[in-house]
A = this chain, B = another copy of it.
Amino acid sequence: MIIVLRPDVTEDQINHIIERVKKLGLKPHISKGVQRTIIGVIGPEDLLRITPLEVFPGVEKVMPVLAPYKLVSREFKSEDSVIDLGKGIKIGAKKIVVMAGPCAIESYPMLYGIAQKVKEAGAVVLRGGAFKPRTSPYSFQGLGEEGLKYLKDIAEKLNLITVTEVMDPRDVELVAQYADILQIGARNMQNFNLLKEVGATRKPILLKRGMSSTIKEWLMSAEYILSEGNFNVILCERGIRTFEDFTRNTLDISSIPIVEQLSHLPVIVDPSHAAGKWGLVAPLSKAALAAGADGLIVEVHSNPEEALSDGNQSLLPERFEELMQQLRELSKALGREL
């Protein structure tokens, strides 16, 4: 932590700050320059973070030196985390993991049909929402537990892993009974009670980036889950909000190599929600792999015209299959496998 003092700071004010730093058991280093005096405090910054040093008289600004997260960081664990999803599927290693399926589970036959298609095309995880966070109270809100049953049953028949969103801390136990991977949606990235609740399970957690979250905040939300003892976190970039209005969100492709640099956790991309338009899913999927993503989560629907949610961004099964073939070529050129 660097405490930059105002040009008109007094000796008394400096002493007051130093006393406080020492009271916290930390060691201050003072450097007096021509234009500014600064106090460096190199040590456990947590203690300082909760002290509002900026309100101390004479302080101009406070600049943290260390990242606020620990367990998720490369410094804590230098080698990549490889997470076991079950049925022999691992994420975070050489093999790229593709998750696919409809936005919402609408009926048993619909889900079954799509599941078959995405499995044939090479997806190993089936996605499908039973609890849907919808901007409008008048939109389809999902089938609830009924949908979870369909998901589990179909996945068992087809030997697929499942991922589905949990929106409410009260539902974590229920969803965990049916699904292999619990998804935290973008709108809940900072629903801290929900993070603690899924942190208390040992399920793999797919943590989507909030649509206005910095990478640092995203990693802090992952830290919530790890701090509860659950290290099975998969990060998922799904676009951030900017002024650009042609796409629903702006896929922050740089976040992939940055996360790989800062954290040992695997990171995947959701090209469907990032773009909001199916025509962009293929180029964004390729870009994601090229940037180093460990996987993708793609919306596929056999009849987008009748989809109850997000039909505009869903690929038809045949387009998904074509994309998978292209991605397989690409993966090889990138030294990965699919």
Contact = CB atoms under 8 A, between A and B. Distances in A.
Interface string A12-55: 00000000100000010101111111101011101001111011
A112 interface: no
Nearest to A249: B254
A7 interface: yes
A35 B66 CA distance: 8
A251 interface: yes
Contact of A50 (B217, B291, B308): B308
Interface in A251-282: 251-258, 261, 274-275, 277-280
A251 B250 CA distance: 9
Complex copy number for this chain: 4
Given A216-B246, A244-B215, A33 B43 contact: yes
Given A33-B42, A50-B139, A292-B283, A254 B275 contact: yes
Nearest to A133: B192
B63 A63 contact: yes
A240 B246 contact: no
A286 interface: yes
Interface residues of A, number: 108
A305 B55 contact: yes
A42 B32 contact: yes
Given A52-B307, A212-B241, A287-B288, A170 B170 contact: yes
Contact of A49 (B35, B136, B242, B244): B136
A108 interface: no
Contact of A169 (B50, B51, B170): B170
Nearest to A46: B138
Interface string A130-148: 0001111111100000000
Contacts of A139: 49-50
A36 B52 contact: no
Contacts of A90: none
Interface of A: 2, 4, 7, 20, 27, 29, 31-38, 40, 42-44, 46, 49-52, 54-56, 63, 65-66, 68, 75, 133-140, 167-170, 187-188, 190-193, 196, 210-212, 214-217, 220, 223-224, 227-228, 240-247, 250-258, 261, 274-275, 277-280, 283-284, 286-292, 304-305, 307-308, 310-312, 314, 329-330, 332-334
